[in-house]
Amino acid sequence: MMLARTADSLYWIARYMERAENLARTLRVTDRLSLMPSIADADGSEWHSTVVVSGSESGFYEKHEEATPENVISYLAFDPENPSSIRSCIETARRNARAVRTALTTEQWECLNSAWLELPGWNEARVRGSGLHRFLDWVKDCSLLFTGGTVATMLRRDSYYFTRLGTFIERNDNTARILDVKYHVLLPEHAEVGGGIDYYQWASILRAVSGYRSYNAVYREGLKPWLIAEFLIMREEMPRSLISCSAEIKECLDKLGEEYGQRHECHRIAGQLYSRLRFGKVEDVFRQGLHEFLCDHIEQNDRLGMEISRSYLLG
């Protein structure tokens, strides 16, 4: 048993750190794609898509007219007015950490505190050119250190499961969004007309979730759009796939249910979300419509987050 506020903070610390990492991954892939003139010419909207993936489209266009690389990096990485910018994520995570530091292990705290102490050293000027990659790597490292520190040092009880729930709810959402923004290049009919450009697009989706080499290790037959979709939706060995995230969420909730001796609506939704992926087929997903499927998944995941909050956190 723990304070609801403490559980809520742990959950959000993990969500914000995961969000920062996913933003960093997405920005990195976008930057890479934009270096390829063929893609930049054919479709200048890479930076726009990045804004869409991050879910901050309306906020961005209130402030900026055009999705230029500078504008997007500024808004998604550093803008204090964007509550989901990398900077805001790290600051919010650390503020939450300070409020619940007794519930964190020393390793977790020091990781978040160091990230926060080093953050002012990064700014738009410093990330110009090759600085961008160093910055994004740093963000990724901070998040990985936090996640690793969590797994390696936290007692396996409620506080741990709330932290992990934050990570996987956020990751579930992010993987689905990355897929959804590019769903059109993954449709089977699209493959017929696909050329070199699509190949880079497919590879970029995989890279955004650290899945490029893993994909090749699993399939060994080159990039096929429907296999990429299957890989990121239904393969349990892929740790950022929708099914993996959903399985982890279900497991965390099961552990909480055991520890507290009570189950809630969130348990039902989590079970449903997982079994749909576990027993579904990728062909059915395409038949239903990839976009429709992903939208529904994002919506269910949102609902799940709200139910978790209602049952355990601050409502």
Residue 181 engages other proteins in binding (rule: CB under 8 A)? no
Residue 310 engages other proteins in binding (rule: CB under 8 A)? no
Nearer to other proteins, 60 or 312 (CB): 312
Within 10 Å of residue 258's Cβ, how many Cβ atoms?
10
Residue 313 engages other proteins in binding (rule: CB under 8 A)? yes
Q: Give me the count of residues in the chain.
A: 315
How far is residue 244's CA from residue 266's CA, in Å, rounded to a whole number?
17
Measured from the CB of residue 261, what is the shortest distance to other proteins in angstroms? Answer: 9
Measured from the CB of residue 88, what is the shortest distance to other proteins in angstroms? Answer: 17
Measured from the CB of residue 113, what is the shortest distance to other proteins in angstroms? Answer: 5
80, exposed or middle or buried, with CB in 10 Å at 0-12, 13-18, 19+?
A: exposed
Kindly give, in sequence order, each residue whose CB lies less than 8 Å from that of residue 128, ignoring residues fewer than 6 positions away.
Answer: none
How far is residue 185's CA from residue 249's CA, in Å, rounded to a whole number?
29
* The only residue of 38, 114, 153, 275 in contact with other proteins, by rule CB under 8 A: 114
Residue 157 engages other proteins in binding (rule: CB under 8 A)? no
Nearer to other proteins, 96 or 147 (CB): 96
Residue 14 engages other proteins in binding (rule: CB under 8 A)? no
x/- site string to other proteins, residues 66 to 105, per CB under 8 A?
-----------------------------x--xxxxx---
173, exposed or middle or buried, with CB in 10 Å at 0-12, 13-18, 19+?
A: buried
Nearer to other proteins, 166 or 194 (CB): 166
The C-alpha angle 205, 47, 221, rounded to 5 degrees, equals 20
Residue 117 engages other proteins in binding (rule: CB under 8 A)? yes
Residue 111 engages other proteins in binding (rule: CB under 8 A)? no
Considering only residues 230-289, where is the footprint of other proteins by CB under 8 A?
260, 262
How far is residue 59's CA from residue 68's CA, in Å, rounded to a whole number?
15
